[in-house]
Amino acid sequence: MAHDFNRRDALRIGAASAALPLLTFTTASAATEGSAPVGSAAARAVPPLRTFPLSDVTLGRGLFTEKRARMLNFARGYDEDRLLLAFRANADLPTHDAVAPDGWENLDGQGNGNLRGHFAGHFMTMLSQAHASTGEAVFEHKLRNMVAALYECRQALNREPSIRGGEGPLTRAVEVRRGSYLYFDVPPEAVDGLRAMTFAAWIRPAAADEWGRIFDFGNDTETNMFLTPRDSEGMPRFSITRSGGGNEERIVGSEPLPVGQWSHVAVTLAEGGGALYVNGRRTGDNPRLSLTPAELGTLAHCWIGRSHYDDPVQSGGYADINLWSSVLSPDQLGELQRTEAAATTVGPGDRFSYPCRERSGTVLHDRSGGHRHATYTRTWGKPSHPGFLAAYPETQFIRLESLTSSSYPVVWAPYYTAHKILQGLLDAYETTGDGRALDLASGMCDWMYSRLSELADADLQRMWSLFSSGEYGGIVEAILRTHDHTREPRHLRLAECFNLDSFIDACAQNRDVLDGKHANQHIPILTGLVLLYERTGEQRYKQAAHNFWRMVVPPRMFGIGGTGEGEFFHRRGRVAELLGPETAETCCAHNMLKLTRSLFRWETDPGYAEYHERVLFNQILGSKRDEDDAEKPLTTYFVGLHPGAVRDFTPKGGTTCCEGTGMENATKYQDSVYFAREDRNELYVNLYLPSTVHWRSKAVTIEQETTFPYQGRSRLRMSGAARFTLHLRVPDWSGAGFAVRINGRPRPIPSDSPGYVTFTREWETGDTVDVELPFLLSAEHSPDDPTVQTLMYGPLNLVARSASTEFLTLGFYATARLSGDLSRALSAVPGRPLHFRVGDVELAPFFEGTTEAYHAYFRRHEPRIVFDSVEAGVPNRRRPDGPTFLDELWAEAPFTDRGEFTNHVTRLARRWSREGIFTRAEQGRIVSAAGRARFEN
């Protein structure tokens, strides 16, 4: 059967859509006159269904626990100090010799490391979910460590930084921690008027950062002189200019400064020339220099370690930093290799001299006699509010407020990162009860409110409209969860600061504006809106979420349930055209499931459960590699759906957004198996997987025993006595074979059952409910090319194992059953459950996390009209608009009996004959073949 999931699902979901009238809005913030105040008890809306906490749903042995076990092994073994490193460095706290993670969480990560901190939030959420699911103490211990460290970081960020002492090449030295954004601010008059100078210092670079600054004296990027230990070629360079970087006069060294080792660096400069020395040896000179500091005029800044550009802050060791108003000779520079300047014949620098013997405090003391002490300070100053917490400076948030175009190396989704940290803290609080976690979360909300509440609405709309830079993920969800604990009115007002009104109103008015939008930037907005609706009662929020979901499912959905290509939404109905290596971003699947779950609590539409099952059993399970790894969670970013695709389980160097959500996915598989409606004593079973639910309000435990999806059956066993209604989902893919037995007795299944079959009774300990769920094989065609199709075996996407980069050609209609089931074309592979062969092609379930090449889509080719292996002797011609005769015929399956099938073939063949596609003789042969087909199962 060419099973048209899109059409059938849209029809079924459309019934639920009719229950929500289309709302109209005059302005983005229009409020109903006389409506209840935001957040008041009267405004709150309570969804009919509730979910169960992870601690009340236990996974049984099977596919899901096997996948989860690998992630739990990673969680147990990974050193959380590695993820705390960036936070501690930002707060200038000891990093305990932790090794920085690879990828985005690294100080050198993509986009200048501007997303670091997000992975720590994901990790806390994973630990919380792991503890809720297993009760293992190790996960709580790690959580408490992380909360304590983050609390210490916030305290340190609100204190003045203190100089750290260390061992130097001669005596003492000072150390600047990498990632701390600390530098020394020297009184600028130290440089004013110099026509000759010598700068000399001991330097030990902590990293091979390009364009860090040993010093940068000047006003801005137009007027300055600087010394960098490593230019773009890896060489030390002195530059001076008064008309920008394009007109620099330079002295470039001939050998790089070694990382982690002390080097003595000196620059001499006078009218007519200058030289660069490393360890007493001249490594570069320029006899044609025309500029001296005097030509630069009165300078605004005299910085040691900081750049006038957005270059890395110099980190590592400093010792014996001096500036003289004369040119030292090579012999005098040689003395500096053996002893501090103050003990040489030339004496300390007369403009400034910092021996760097301090062990604490905020000042490098000047020993020149000029009292030009250098202040130790952050490039970004102090947090604007004591609640600020991040793994990088607050400048990311400050710059966003005036940013007019996206640039992720400058500003990369700071509120997205804040969301992950905030969510992780809330999860940690709810898991451990550690009040510091809630204090940190509340403080973050207070800090965000202090910034955003002062901005004009136009500024907020501009910020949230920026691709990538303005992405804020699910921060509204996390803020509202914080509000649930604090009940602070400002926290609820903060949540509405993130309203992207143009997008919300378009969705609420059912205007599809998704084409070209960044998918994962927008999906979480809608999940937040459902929760805002629950707190405020504002209908446009729920209407927007309801309509948005239908703009994605099914119009922008791939067979595995995922959406998006290259991180973006595209026009409705584009599937075959988009198949490539960057389809179905895993974060999108994660967030679509969260939205689906939220909407199901309100609308109880089985279409949501169908979609949730499809995404969970295919993309989510298949996003986790079936191997252990101590360094990485091994989850996908994009899922390639092109011919010969190979899944990448170590994307982009590690610690990406999708690896973060991947950690969460693998520790909450059971979050949407069961739902309860307490006021009516109802329990919904949405998914068939081995699990046990503890329905505490009923004092009932229900254990689901099954090997699903390896076998299409499940048994529910009751413990405890209570009267309630049990809703068992009737999957759309199970067809007429769905059956239920209670205590061994078959129960009738109404033919018009709206996605669920319902049983109300007094349940007792020992009662059993057996559910038969036969798997049918169906092929779903792409809306933009009906010949490009994907295979669904029950809820499972089957992929063809092949390294070919061309579409494979497969046919199935010749052995199709009256039900539309195509599975007679399959032959099972012995010893490999859910593996089949079609001809010489092996099919396997998508959920297997392997690195074997596969085809998720194939080219459907049915050249002849055949019914149950009875040849009609007629080509299977195609309409001008796409579908073939057999496509159109089997789209109407299931057929109740041979008579209905033959009648339908007769009517369809007659119509195609009238349209000139078949001859009268061909029409007769088609009808005759249909009559001879036996369709014996």
Residues 220 and 267 in one domain: yes
Residue 8 lies in a domain: no
Per residue in 164-174, pLDDT tens?
999 999 999 99
pLDDT of residue 883: 87
C-alpha radius of gyration, the chain, whole number: 34
Q: How confident is the model at residue 40 (pLDDT cuts 50, 70, 90)?
A: very low
Cα–Cα separations (whole angstroms), residue 618 to 463, 529, 837, 846:
35, 27, 20, 6
- Inside any domain, residue 95: no
Domain count, the chain: 3
Are 709 and 832 members of one domain? no
- 450's enclosing H/E stretch is helix 435-452
HEC per residue, 418-445: HHHHHHHHHHHHHHHCCHHHHHHHHHHH
317, part of any domain: yes
Q: How far apart are CA 3 and CA 226, in angstroms?
A: 68
Least confidently predicted of 21-30, 122-131, 238-247, 844-853: 21-30
Note whether 739 and 873 are same-domain residues.
Answer: no
Q: What whole-number distance in Å separates Cα of residue 805 and Cα of residue 599?
A: 39
Q: Quick one: average pLDDT of 175-193?
A: 97
> Residue 37 above 50 pLDDT?
no
Burial 496-526 (b: 16+ CB within 10 A, else e): bbbbbbebbbbbbbbebebeebbbbbbbbbb
Name residue 677's amino acid: R
Distance CA 743, CA 494 (A): 53
Q: Are residues 702 and 835 in the same domain?
A: no
Cα–Cα distance measured from residue 661 to residue 51, given in angstroms and rounded to the nearest whole number = 20
Boundary of a domain, candidates 354, 378, 402: 378
And the tokens for 30? 């229009």
Compute the average pLDDT of residues 782-794: 96
745 and 788 in a single domain? The answer is: no
936 — pLDDT class (breaks 50, 70, 90):
confident
Question: The tokens of 719 are what?
Answer: 């413990």
Instruction: Supply the DSSP symbol for 565.
Output: B
The HSE-up count of residue 705 (CA atoms within 13 Å, CB side) is 7
Helix (H, G, I), strand (E, B) or coil at 714: strand
Regarding whether 895 and 853 lie in a shared domain, the answer is yes
Beta-carbon-side half-sphere exposure of residue 861 (alpha carbons within 13 Å): 6
Pair (722, 762) in one structural domain: yes
Which phi and psi (to 5°) does residue 883 adopt? -70, 150
Tell me: pLDDT of 767 over 50: yes
For residue 511, report the phi and psi dihedrals to the nearest 5 degrees. Answer: -95, 120
Nearest of 545, 692, 755 to residue 8 by alpha carbon: 755
Q: Is the pTM of this model over 0.95?
A: no
For residue 214, the SS3 value is: coil
Q: Are 619 and 586 in contact (CB under 8 A)?
A: yes
Are residue 731 and residue 786 in the same domain, yes or no? no
636 in a structural domain: no
Q: Do 689 and 723 have their domain in common?
A: yes
Asked whether residue 26 carries a pLDDT value surpassing 50, the answer given is no
What pLDDT, on the 0 to 100 scale, is given for residue 31? 32
For the purposes of burial, counting CB atoms within 10 Å of the CB of 581, is it exposed (0-12), middle (13-18) or buried (19 or more)?
middle
**Local structure of residue 181 (DSSP, 8 states):** -
Q: What is the CATH number of the domain that holds 354?
A: 2.60.120.200
Quickly state the pLDDT bin for 745 (edges 50, 70, 90): very high
Q: Is the pLDDT of residue 90 over 50?
A: yes
825's CB contacts (< 8 A; 6+ apart) are 777, 811, 812, 814, 815, 838
What span, in angstroms and rounded, lies between the C-alpha atoms of 331 and 77? Answer: 56
Residue 475 above 90 pLDDT?
yes
Residue 481 belongs to some domain of the structure: no
| Nearest to 587, CA basis, from 410, 416, 462, 409 | 416
One domain for residues 843 and 928: yes
Does the pLDDT of residue 18 top 80, yes or no?
Answer: no
| Domain end position, chosen among 754, 772, 790 | 772
Pair (723, 832) in one structural domain: no
Q: Which residues are within 8 A (CB) of 717 and not within 5 positions of it... i.e. 6 or more apart?
A: 702, 703, 704, 705, 766, 767, 768
Alpha-helical regions (H) of 754-897: 885-890
Angle between helices 137-157 and 118-134 (to 10 degrees): 150
Give the helix/strand (H/E) hosting 18: helix 5-18
> d(Cα 540, Cα 23) in Å, to the nearest integer?
7
pLDDT over 70 (residue 138): yes
CB atoms within 10 A of CB 858: 25
Q: Domain range holding 259? A: 166-378
Q: Considering only CA atoms, which of 547, 583, 590, 593 is closest in space to residue 563?
A: 583
341 occurs within a structural domain: yes
Q: Is the pLDDT of residue 575 over 50?
A: yes
pLDDT at 36 over 60: no
Spatial contact of 565 and 530, defined as CB atoms under 8 Å apart: no
Q: Which of 772, 798, 823 is the last residue of a domain?
A: 772
CATH of the domain at 745: 2.60.40
pLDDT at residue 662 above 50?
A: yes
Tokens of 770: 């057996």
**398 phi/psi in degrees, rounded to 5:** -65, -45
CA–CA separation, 815 and 870 (whole Å): 9
In a domain, 842, yes or no: yes
Sequence letter at residue 457: D
What residues have CB less than 8 Å from 422, skipping those under 6 apart? 121, 441, 444, 445, 475, 478, 479, 482
**What angle, 0 to 180 degrees and rounded to 10, lies between the N-to-C axes of helices 137-157 and 435-452?**
40
Q: What does the alpha-carbon distance between residue 281 and residue 799 come to, in Å, rounded to a whole number?
A: 65
Which residue reads 């990485």 in tokens?
Answer: 632
Is 238 inside a domain boundary? yes
Claim to verify: residue 783 and residue 892 sit in the same structural domain: yes
Looking at residues 497-512, what average pLDDT do you find? 98
* Nearest in space to 67 (alpha carbons), one of 852, 707, 854, 849: 849
425-451 average pLDDT score: 98
| Residue spans of alpha helices (H) in 274-413 | 293-296, 330-335, 395-400
pLDDT for res 43: 67
The residues, any chain, with a CB within 8 Å of residue 710's CB and separated by 6 or more, are 63, 833, 834
- The b-or-e profile of 674-713 (16+ CB within 10 A means b, else e) is bbbbeeeebbbbbbbbbbbbbbeebebbbbbbbbbbeebe
How far does Cα 76 stand from its chain's mean position?
22
pLDDT (mean) for 106-112 = 90
Residue 720, pLDDT > 50, answer yes
Q: Average model confidence (pLDDT) for the chain? A: 94
